[in-house]
Amino acid sequence: MSLLYGNAVVGQSGGPTSAINATLSGVIRGAYEAHGAGIIEKLYGMKNGIEGFLREDFVSLFEIFDTPEKLQTLETTPAAALGSCRRKLKDHEKDADTFAEILRIFKKYDIRYFFYIGGNDSMDTVLKLSRYAADHDFEMRVVGIPKTIDNDLMATDHTPGFGSAAKFVATTVKEILRDVSVYTMNAVTIVEIMGRDAGWLTASAALPLLSGGMAPDLIYLPEKVFDPEKFIADVRAALEKHPAILVAASEGIKLANGHYVGEGTDSRKVDAFGHTALSGTGRVLEELVKDEIGCKVRSIELSLPQRCAAHIASLTDLRESVEVGRGGVLSAIAGATGVMMTIVRDNEGGEYSFHVGTADISKIANEIRRVPDEYINAEGNGITAAGLDYLAPLIVGEPYIEYENGLPKHFVIE
Amino acid sequence: MSLLYGNAVVGQSGGPTSAINATLSGVIRGAYEAHGAGIIEKLYGMKNGIEGFLREDFVSLFEIFDTPEKLQTLETTPAAALGSCRRKLKDHEKDADTFAEILRIFKKYDIRYFFYIGGNDSMDTVLKLSRYAADHDFEMRVVGIPKTIDNDLMATDHTPGFGSAAKFVATTVKEILRDVSVYTMNAVTIVEIMGRDAGWLTASAALPLLSGGMAPDLIYLPEKVFDPEKFIADVRAALEKHPAILVAASEGIKLANGHYVGEGTDSRKVDAFGHTALSGTGRVLEELVKDEIGCKVRSIELSLPQRCAAHIASLTDLRESVEVGRGGVLSAIAGATGVMMTIVRDNEGGEYSFHVGTADISKIANEIRRVPDEYINAEGNGITAAGLDYLAPLIVGEPYIEYENGLPKHFVIE
């Protein structure tokens, strides 16, 4: 395979994370290396993902990021500096015009490298574009670089962005544990954590156990059927031990009939992708405890900060997020296309280390990786030592963050 | 006045903050100095405030904190390490037995110094105890040391604990601003911030303006009557300028008829002090925007982390919190009693500095300090430059925080 010379474009799609800009920085760093080698001439940034691409709304990333300091600030800036979109490409048979337009833009700008940072839906876009380009004899490399706080993509040990979200969740739960422990009366606090189909983020609420020994009394993941009667019995049993009970529950826990617990209060809403938008799981559990037990109870929804609290990002996650971006460029130069970058854990059991790999996207897109049984206790209300072993290294380390007038400095692309 | 020799006791009361343990550390530091001078023999810590005092549930703080490192860890540990309570003493005429019991305990343990760290209700306890001891010819010094994230105590420039809460709010709002700015469609995000009667914490949502230039489009405080029609007009006008609108609203905003906006969804609840417990302000505004404008809208309640997110504490706040604790001990030794420690701002306009002062509690207890008109814009939906000038120095600086397995280390008194 010969070297492919031309320009590159990178975009960000789907919900933001605290680490998606670290991956953008990694792509820019990799592209600079390829630029130095004479392979990539220009690196375009598409504004608002594929939507901006179709509008030819490009910025020149080599011009914007002309010093290492700017890249460092970018790496600790939450959300998507290039903007994002929720658009998912249809099959090219059903939307031939859009695909023809994309190919026209590839040719117009001599774009030979397409990097798309996103979640499951973005990987689907990468798969379709790589196949379309190949079918139309346009030589190019299309690489997907994963991100999601949900950690639910196949083929990778974990996803960039998850470690920082997990560190936020674990830190906040640890702080809430201190807060709720100050009173002597019986009180139940329910923390609702993001995760529609997979309970990885909720499981990370158990991590304070490795840092001081306290953890939520009860943890409920979507992987196990949620039984309200068992839940009330669990809470009663916990109250026998001490007065302040902390419950961590995933927004996506479901009843035996398949309905989300969170459907109880809010009407069933559907987002742009046809996913059910959930809210109110914590409130439903709060009402349940109030009705059945009658003690003081409150619920806390961790909400958006789970995906944007970059001030408490995991250094491990940010480093890996940079490396999958950089590795995506280097893999593409080496010939990879239609692939998703992955993180490979080197040595389970020993000291944690990782390397970057690739996986065939056709085997990944639209599938969900759930928390395995071995990470969930037999009662279905806690995390096992094996689960803690898996999660623990992902939240380690604190990045250097520059503060400006008391607040973390962010890099904003106008 | 001659020196008063004997033992000391310290307690924490009311809702926790991220800085109340820094004040406890300051009391311990001050007591160590007095111990070195032969004035204070022992420093007792009462568990769960006055409730633990009445149970004679004491710990020996010189024994627990026998190294400077332990005090440093305590200073960045959120919530009340000694535990807290919500108990407010009645007037001694109405509850003579309790006051007699307290005096008995003072005598039994030769307690000559009583330090109580808390909010408005705790200062009331200090006032009653200092008067009761004086009336019963028991020479002692009773000193209140303020804490509240609400910043609503009289006589002090600001309250210990406020700066850290404000830094959490401003940081989180800044991060949410980045998050909501990634999409191009119209969307309104409403952030509900604590503050029943005073809007200080909500006002601090404006601080990102001084760090990068972005801030919420609209800010509503309890100090101004909330007009739903004006609110909808404000949101519409903001949407004319850009698609992603951020609204910061205090939980305590009220309608012209005197009812809380948050009463709209939740039934009116009353806490142990007879205060109305609010929730749902953000949800009411969310429904209002949905009904009247119809664009995408969501609400976020910042909830408990506002008072316990010690990992993003303000160094300025923690230093001041230590100093009011330490200063409380030194003032008591010098003869002060029935006073609350205050923070005095030295030089408004110039570089920020402070010193510790005292104020007569009888002029403070049960009063509320509200955000003055000069800090709120004429429209009643934003913060003035004068308000930003007041708030800005209070969030400056980041403390050193020790991490253990990726999470902030806390000091727990068993």
Q: Tokens for B322?
A: 């230590």
Q: What is the pLDDT of residue A265?
A: 45
pLDDT tens string A8-31: 999 999 999 999 999 999 999 999
Do residues B261 and B202 lie in contact, with contact meaning Cβ atoms separated by under 8 Å? no
The pLDDT of residue A277 is above 90: no
Say which of B48, B170, B176 has its CB closest to residue A304: B176
Please report the ipTM that was assigned to this predicted complex: 0.95
Residue A171 and residue B407: Cβ atoms within 8 Å? yes
Residue with tokens 């006002």: B203
Residue A178 and residue B396: Cβ atoms within 8 Å? no
Q: Tokens for B101?
A: 């019991």
Q: What is the pLDDT of residue B233?
A: 98
Phi then psi for residue A343, to 5 deg, are -110, 125
Work out the end-to-end distance of chain B between its first and last CA atoms, rounded to an integer number of angstroms: 39
Q: What is the pLDDT of residue B88?
A: 87
The pLDDT of residue A48 is above 60: yes
Q: Tokens for B155?
A: 């006589």
Q: Kindly name the residue from A121, A124, A150, A217 that is annotated as catalytic.
A: A150
User: Residue A398's closest chain B neighbor by CA?
Assistant: B406
Do residues A182 and B83 lie in contact, with contact meaning Cβ atoms separated by under 8 Å? yes
B40 forms beta bridges with B6
Do residues A201 and A171 lie in contact, with contact meaning Cβ atoms separated by under 8 Å? no
Residue A395 and residue B406: Cβ atoms within 8 Å? yes
Query: Residue type at A346?
Result: D
Q: Which residues contact B310 (CB under 8 A, 6 or more apart)?
A: A175, B18, B19, B76, B77, B78, B164, B401, B408
Residue B48 and residue A184: Cβ atoms within 8 Å? yes
State how far residue A399 is from chain B, nearest Cα, in angstroms: 11
Going from the C-alpha of A373 to that of each of A215, A383, A386, B392, the distances in angstroms are 20, 10, 10, 49
Q: What is the pLDDT of residue A297?
A: 95
pLDDT tens string A311-342: 999 999 999 999 999 999 999 999 999 999 99
Do residues B10 and B47 lie in contact, with contact meaning Cβ atoms separated by under 8 Å? no
What size, in residues, is chain A?
414
Do residues B332 and B140 lie in contact, with contact meaning Cβ atoms separated by under 8 Å? no
The pLDDT of residue A174 is above 90: yes
Say which of B80, B178, B407 has its CB closest to residue A208: B407
Say which of B179, B184, B407 has its CB closest to residue A174: B407
What residue ranges define each of the domains in chain B, with the CATH number in brackets? Answer: 6-160+310-367 (3.40.50.450), 165-305 (3.40.50.460)
Q: What is the pLDDT of residue B367?
A: 80
Do residues A324 and A215 lie in contact, with contact meaning Cβ atoms separated by under 8 Å? no
Burial class of B179 by CB neighbour count within 10 A (0 to 12, 13 to 18, 19+): buried
For helices B96-108 and B120-135, the axis angle rounded to 10 degrees is: 70
Do residues A150 and A195 lie in contact, with contact meaning Cβ atoms separated by under 8 Å? yes
Residue B179 and residue A405: Cβ atoms within 8 Å? no
Q: With beta carbons under 8 A apart, name residues in chain A contacting B183.
A: 48, 83-86
Torsion sign (Cα): A74, B246, B316, A170: negative
Residue A184 and residue B208: Cβ atoms within 8 Å? no
Give the DSSP H/E element, type plus range, for residue A288. Answer: helix A281-292
Say which of A12, A178, A407 has its CB closest to residue B208: A407
Do residues B307 and B151 lie in contact, with contact meaning Cβ atoms separated by under 8 Å? no
Strand locations in A251-379 (E)? 269-270, 276-277, 296-301, 339-345, 354-360
Which string of b and e fits A155-186 if b means at least 16 CB within 10 Å? bbbbbbbbbbbbbbbbbbbbbbbbbbbbbbeb
Residue A406 and residue B300: Cβ atoms within 8 Å? no
Q: Tokens for B219?
A: 């800010």
Q: What is the pLDDT of residue A121?
A: 85
Q: What is the pLDDT of residue B213?
A: 85
Select from B12, B407, B412 the residue whose CB has the most chain A CBs within 10 Å, as the one to mutate to test that interface.
Answer: B407
Q: With beta carbons under 8 A apart, name residues in chain B contacting A84.
A: 182-183
B347 forms beta bridges with none
Q: Which long-range contacts (CB under 8 A, 24 or more apart) does A277-284 make?
A: A278/A196, A278/A251, A278/A252, A279/A251, A281/A192, A281/A249, A281/A250, A281/A251, A281/A252, A281/A253, A282/A190, A282/A191, A282/A192, A282/A249
Kindly indicate the confidence band of residue A349, based on its pLDDT and cuts at 50, 70 and 90: low
Percentage of chain A surpassing pLDDT 90? 87
Q: Rounded to whole angstroms, how far apart are CA atoms A95 and A89?
A: 8
Q: What is the pLDDT of residue B266?
A: 44
Kindly indicate the confidence band of residue A1, based on its pLDDT and cuts at 50, 70 and 90: low
Do residues A107 and A47 lie in contact, with contact meaning Cβ atoms separated by under 8 Å? no
Q: What is the pLDDT of residue B342?
A: 97
Do residues B281 and B250 lie in contact, with contact meaning Cβ atoms separated by under 8 Å? yes
Going from the C-alpha of B146 to that of each of A101, A115, B155, the distances in angstroms are 65, 54, 11
Q: Tokens for A34?
A: 């390829």
Q: Which residues contact B246 (CB under 8 A, 6 or more apart)?
A: B173, B176, B177, B180, B189, B191, B216, B217, B218
Q: With beta carbons under 8 A apart, name residues in chain B contacting A409.
A: 211-212
Residue A182 and residue B84: Cβ atoms within 8 Å? yes
Q: Kindly name the residue from B121, B124, B150, B152 that is annotated as catalytic.
A: B150
Closest CA to A108 of A58, A50, A39, A38: A58
Average pLDDT, chain A: 93
Q: Tokens for B205?
A: 């949502």
Phi then psi for residue B387, to 5 deg, are -65, -45
Interface A-B, measured as beta-carbon pairs within 8 A, has a size of: 179
Q: What is the mean pLDDT of residues A80-93?
A: 92
Q: Rounded to whole angstroms, how far apart are CA atoms B178 and B172?
A: 10
Task: Give, as one character, the DSSP assignment of residue A260.
Answer: B
The pLDDT of residue A362 is above 90: no
Q: Tokens for B393?
A: 């120095």
Strand order in the sheet with B218-220: B218-220, B244-250, B187-193, B296-301
Low-confidence ranges of chain B (pLDDT < 70): 1, 264-279, 348-349, 365
State how far residue B39 is from chain A, nearest Cα, in angstroms: 31
DSSP A151-171: ---TTSSS-TTHHHHHHHHHH
Say which of A79, A183, A212 has its CB closest to residue B181: A79
Q: What is the pLDDT of residue A264?
A: 52
Which string of b and e fits B63-79 if b means at least 16 CB within 10 Å? ebbeeeeebbbbbbbbb
Phi then psi for residue B192, to 5 deg, are -95, 125
Residue B406 and residue A170: Cβ atoms within 8 Å? yes
Residue B83 and residue A314: Cβ atoms within 8 Å? no
The pLDDT of residue A69 is above 60: yes
Q: Rounded to whole angstroms, how far apart are CA atoms B103 and B97?
A: 10
Select from A182, A191, A242, A351 the residue whose CB has the most chain B CBs within 10 Å, as the one to mutate to test that interface.
Answer: A182
B50 forms beta bridges with none
Work out the end-to-end distance of chain A between its first and last CA atoms, rounded to an integer number of angstroms: 39
Residue B409 and residue A211: Cβ atoms within 8 Å? yes
The pLDDT of residue A266 is above 50: no
State how far residue B129 is from chain A, nearest Cα, in angstroms: 22
Q: With beta carbons under 8 A apart, name residues in chain A contacting B79.
A: 175, 178-179, 181-182
Q: Rounded to whole angstroms, how far apart are CA atoms B294 and B310?
A: 38
Select from B175, B177, B404 the residue whose CB has the most chain A CBs within 10 Å, as the one to mutate to test that interface.
Answer: B175
Whether B150 is catalytic: yes
Going from the C-alpha of B390 to that of each of A107, B157, B322, B347, the distances in angstroms are 56, 9, 21, 11
Q: With beta carbons under 8 A apart, name residues in chain A contacting B404.
A: 211-212
State how far residue B392 is from chain A, nearest Cα, in angstroms: 7
